[in-house]
Structure 1
Amino acid sequence: MNNGQDISKERIAAELDRGRRRSLGLTLDALDDEELLTQHSPLMSPLVWDLAHIGNYEEQWLLRAAAGREALRPDIDHLYDAFENPRAERVDLPLLRPQEARDYNERVRREVLDALDGVDLTVPAPRGPDDPPGLLDAGFVYHMVIQHEHQHDETMLATHQLRRGAPVLLEEAPAVAPLRPPAEAEALVPAGPFTMGTDDDPWAYDNEKPAVTVDLPAYFIDTAPVTNAAYREFMEDGGYQTRHWWSREGWEWKEKRGAVAPAFWEREGEEWARRRFGRRELVPPDEPVQHVNYHEARAYAEWAGKRLPTEAEWEKAARFDPATGESRRHPWGDGEPAARHANLGQRRLGPATVGRHPDGASPLGVHQLIGDVWEWTSTTFHGYPGFRAFPYREYSEVFFDSGYKVLRGGSWATHPTAVRSTFRNWDLPIRRQIFSGFRCARDAEPA
C-alpha cells in the first residue's frame, strides 16, 4: 500500500524540478549576489549557503548513496554540513559564490536524472521486523531529497521575512470564494484508540514510524487556529504583563526579550501593524496568528482557560474518522492536497482567513489543520515505541528529548509534498521566526 502516492520516475523528476525552480525563485531570481551572501539574521544562514547545501545533500544521497557514483565535490562537504557549522558562523565560511552554487547544483541535477533511469523503485515484499529498510524502497531516498529541498525553501522564506529591504517576492491574490468558518468553536473528539504514525507511507520520515495504537480520553479541540483578533484580546487583557499565565521559562524569555506582541508586530496609533516580506500593513483580524513561540501559545491557552493539545490529540483530530475507525493521510482523506483543501506551497505569503478552506476539514469538523501555520503542541519531541533511525541519526534521533517541542500541520510556506497528518516538525520553545501559530484544547468533562 502506498496511500495513493505516486512513486513513478516521472513524478520524481517533476517534483525535483518543482523544488529547484522554487529554490531559484527565492535566491538567484530574487536577490543580487550581495544580498545572497549577507547574513540577514544570526538565526539564519546566508541564502547562498542554503542553495549550495541543497545541491550537496542531493549529491550525497542521490548520486553517492543511491547510485554509487563518485563524489563530484568532496572538498565542499564540510562547508555544507549543518551539524558541523552553526548558522551564525556560516557567513564566515569560504562558500561557493552564487553563480558557482548554480553551476554546481545544475551539474548534480544532470547526473541525478541520468542515474534515475537505472534505479529500481519497486515496492519490496514485506520484510521481517528486524530487517532494515532500503534507500530505494518505494523511492524513499528521492522523496527524502525532494522534501529536504522544500524544507530549506521554507527556511529561506523565514530568512526573507527577517531581511530588511524592499519587497522582492510575489504572491497570488487572495481567493474570492465565500468564507465558511466552522459552525462551532470546538469539536469533541471521542474517547478511544486510533492509529498514530504510519508504516507504509513512502514519503514518511523515520520519526513518523512505526504506526502505534494510542488510546486517548475524550477532549475538546478548537475547530480553527487562534486568530489575530483573539490573540489581541489576550494582549489587551494584560497577557504580556500578567505573570500568572506564563511558565517560569516563558516569563524569563518574555522579560529578557521585552516581548509585548507577536514577532514583526508594531503599534500604529490604536491599531497594530505588521511587517511582512518588506510590506507594512495592518494586522488582519481573521487570519491565524503567526510568529508566536511555544511560550506565547501556552500563556494564551492558560489565559483562555484551556491548554495546548498534545501531538497525539492533534493527530487524532486531524486523521481519525469515527465512521470507519480508520486514520486518514490528510483530514479530507488520502488524496493529495489541492488548493481547495489547504493553504500550502507559498501561493500567498501568509495564512488564509479562517473559513477559507472548508473542504479541508477533518471528519470531526476541525478546520485548517493542514497549512496556514505550524501549530505548537505540548509534546516534547521523542521517538515512537519501536523507532528506528533511518537513514541517518542526525535527521531525528539526535533531537529527541532535548527540549524541542513538536509542531504539526505545516504552514502556508510548506510544500504539499512535505506535509501530511503524520508529519512531525520540531523547534525550540523560544523560536518565533518560523511560521508558527496554534490552537487550544481542553479536557472533556467526565460523563
Structure 2
Amino acid sequence: MNAGEPTTADGRESLRDRALDALTVARERTALLTSCVDDGELTAQHSPLMSPLVWDLAHIGNQEEQWLWRAVAGQEALRPEIDSLYDAFEHPRATRPTLPLLPPDEARAYAADVRTRVLDVLASTPLTGRPLLDEGFAFGMIAQHEQQHDETMLITHQLRRGPAALTAPPPPATHTGGPLPTEVLVPGGPFTMGTSDEPWALDNERPAHTTLVPAFCIDTVPVTNGSYMAFLADGGYTERRWWRPEGWAQIREHGIVAPLFWHRDGGQWLRRRFGVTEPVPEEEPVLHVSWYEADAYARWAGRRLPTEAEWEKAARHDPASGRSRRYPWGDADPGPEHANLGQRHLRPAPAGSYPAGASPLGVRQLIGDVWEWTASDFLPYPGFTAFPYKEYSEVFFGPAHKVLRGGSFAVDPVACRGTFRNWDLPVRRQIFSGFRTARSAELD
C-alpha cells in the first residue's frame, strides 16, 4: 500500500469522495441487477454454475459488514448468524439454493442497513495508520468486491431464460479509419510488471518486478466472431489435432460445437444475448469461449495464446520512455472514449474500436470488451504477500486456473487496471471471455 494518507485536508476529502463514489456506483448497479426481475427470479437458481441472485445480494452486504463495520470500525457483528450462509468457501454455488437464505426484502434491508452504517464509518475514520486503511484501501476493496459480484450477477442474467430484463444501447462506432495491421511487434527486453504503488490494487497484482520478455507479435484486436466462424467452418471442433487432451475430452463429453449461446439456424449462426436471439455479428470479438477453445483456435491459426507477461507488456509498456503505464493509453482513469466498461453496453464493441484507448504500439481493446485468456497459470509474483486474507488469491494459485486479463464490458473501471489479474478454470464458458493470439518474433 502507499504509506500514509494525503497530508492536506483537500487530499483527504478527495480520497473520501473517491471511495464514496465507488461504493455508490457499485450499489446503484447492484440495485439495477436485482430490481429488474421479480422475487421468484431472484431466488431461483438459473444455472448450477451460479448462485441465486438473492445470495449475491446478501453476500455483498455481509462482506461489507465484516470488513468495514467490524474490521475497520471495530463494531460488533450485526448478523453473525448469517456469516456461514454467505461464506463462498463453505457452500459451493450449486448447493446455495438449499440454504435458509434471507428473502429478497430482508436481504435488501440488511445490505441497506450495513451501507448506512458504513457511510458514517467512511466519514469519520482516518484513512491512515494501518495497511487496511491506508489510501482508503478497505473501502476500495469492498467497492471492487461488489462490482465483481455485479459482474457475476450479470452472467446469471445472461444464463437465465425468458424475455430480456436488461437493455443498453450498442457501443458507439469509434473506428473510422482504414484497415488496421493484423498484428503488432512488441520489442524484446525488460519491463516492469505488476504494481507496488497503485493504492487499490489487490494482493495478486503486487509487487512490481522486472520481467524479461523476448520480442513477440500480438494481434492488434481480439479474435472476432467472423474469424472464429472460419475455424468452425474448417471443422475446428471435429479435428482432434488442434485440442489439448483435456479440452478434446470436454467438448466430446458435452457435445460442444460452438461458443456458448450460439446455435445454427440454416446457414446462419445465431446467439442468445440477455434474452434476445440475434445473428452473430462477425465484427465483434468472440465471446463465451473456454481456454481450451481459445487454445485450439490459436493452434489452428498457427499461433498461440500470449503469456500473461506478454499481454501486460503489450498493454502497459511504453517503448519511448521505458516505463509501464497504468493503462494502455496512459495513467488517466478510463473514460468512455478509452474502453467499453461498466455495463454501459451489453455487448463487446466491434474490433478496432476505441482508438483513444490504444497502447503506444497501437494494440487496441486491451481493456474492456472481453476478458482475454492468456497461456499462463495463475501464480504469485516474486515477493507476493497475501493481504488482507489468503482466500482472495493464494488458495487459487497453481496450474488448475488460467489467467485472464483486460476486463470486459461487464467490468467496472474500479475493478479493472493494466495490472488487474482475473483467473478461472480452463473449462469456463459462461464468463465474458474472449482472446487474442500471439507468436514469437524469432519465427520471422
TM-score, structure 2 as length reference: 0.96
Displacement of 1:179 after TM fit? Answer: 3.2
1:353 aligns with 2:359: no
C-alpha distance in 1 between matches for 2:117 and 2:124:
12
Equivalent residue number for residue 186 of structure 2 = 189
Distance 2:21 2:397 in 1: 34
Is the counterpart of residue 120 in structure 1 residue 133 in structure 2? Answer: no
Counterpart in 2 of 1:382? 379
- Residues 80 and 244 (structure 1 numbering): CA distance in 2 closer, same or farther, change over 3 Å? same
Q: Distance in 2 between the 1:295 and 1:178 partners?
A: 30
Could you tell me which residue of structure 2 aligns to residue 129 of structure 1? none
Aligned partner of 1:404 in structure 2 is 401
Letter in 2 for 1:99: D
* Contact preservation (8 Å) 1:219, 1:443: yes
Distance in 1 between residues matched to 2:17 and 2:114, nearest whole Å: 18
Match among 57, 66, 85 for residue 63 of structure 2: 57
Equivalence for 2:224: 227
The residue aligned with 1:251 is 248
| Amino acid paired to 2:23 | L
Query: Which residue does the alignment assign to 1:73?
Result: 79
Aligned residue identity for 1:50: D
- Shift, 1:348, TM fit: 1.0
Unaligned runs of 5+ in 1: 125-132
Q: Aligned residue pairs: how many?
A: 436
Deviation per residue, 1:336-355 (Å, 9 max, x gap): 00011000000111100012
2:268 maps to what in 1? 271
Partners of 2:151 and 2:196 lie apart in 1 by 26
Preserved contact between residue 182 and residue 367 of structure 1 (Cα < 8 Å): no
Contact 1:381 1:406 in 2 (8 A): yes
Q: 1:446–1:375: structure 2 CA closer, same or farther, 3 Å change rule?
A: closer
The answer to whether the 8 Å contact 1:373/1:410 transfers is yes
1:35 equivalent in structure 2: 41
Give 1:19's aligned residue: 26
Query: 1:238 aligns to what?
Result: 235
Encode CA deviations 1:355-412: one digit per residue, 9 max, x unaligned: 2201100001100000000000010001001000000000000000041000000000
2:213 pairs with 1:216: yes
Q: How far apart are residue 174 of structure 1 and its match?
A: 3.3
The answer to whether the Cα contact below 8 Å between 1:404 and 1:428 also exists between their aligned partners in 2 is yes
For 1:97 and 1:388, the matched residues in 2 are separated by: 38
For the residue of structure 2 that corresponds to 1:287, the secondary structure is coil
CA RMSD of aligned residues (A): 1.6
Percentage of identical aligned residues: 63
Q: What is the CA deviation profile of residues 23-63 of structure 1, one whole-angstrom value per residue up to 9, with x for unaligned ones?
A: 01001x21111110000000000000000000000000001
The CA deviation at 1:176 is: 4.2
Task: Spell out the pairing of 1:145-184 with structure 2 (5 A cutoff).
Answer: 145-180=142-177, 183-184=180-181
Q: Which amino acid is 2:70 matched to?
A: R
Q: Using the alignment, how far apart are the partners of 2:236 and 2:443 within structure 1?
A: 30
Residue pair 1:172, 1:347 contacting (<8 A) in 2 also: yes
Structure 1 distance, partners of 2:351, 2:21, is: 32
Following TM superposition, by how much is the alpha carbon of 1:170 offset from its aligned partner in structure 2, in angstroms? 1.6
Whether contact under 8 Å (2:23, 2:143) holds in the other structure is yes
Does the 8 A contact of 1:182 with 1:365 survive in 2? no
- Stretch deviating more after TM superposition (202-211 or 4-13): 4-13
Shift of residue 177, structure 1, vs aligned partner: 4.1
Counterpart position of 1:90: 96
**Aligned-partner Cα distance in 1 for 2:67–2:242:** 46
Amino acid at match of 2:16: K
Letter paired with 1:208: E
Structure 2: stretches of 5+ with no match in the other structure:
none
Distance 1:177 1:443, change over 3 A: closer
Q: Is the 8 A contact 2:353 2:364 kept in 1?
A: no
Alpha-carbon separation, structure 1, partners of 2:430 and 2:178: 27
Say whether residues 1:371 and 2:368 are aligned partners.
yes
* Aligned-partner residue type, residue 339 of structure 2: A
Counterpart Cα distance in 1 of 2:174 and 2:214 = 37
Q: Distance in 2 between matches of 1:252 and 1:59?
A: 43
Provide the C-alpha distance between the structure 2 equivalents of 1:89 and 1:305, rounded to a whole number of angstroms: 42
Contact map agreement 1:19 1:146 (CA 8 A) in 2: yes
Q: Residue 25 of structure 1 aligns to which amino acid in structure 2?
A: L
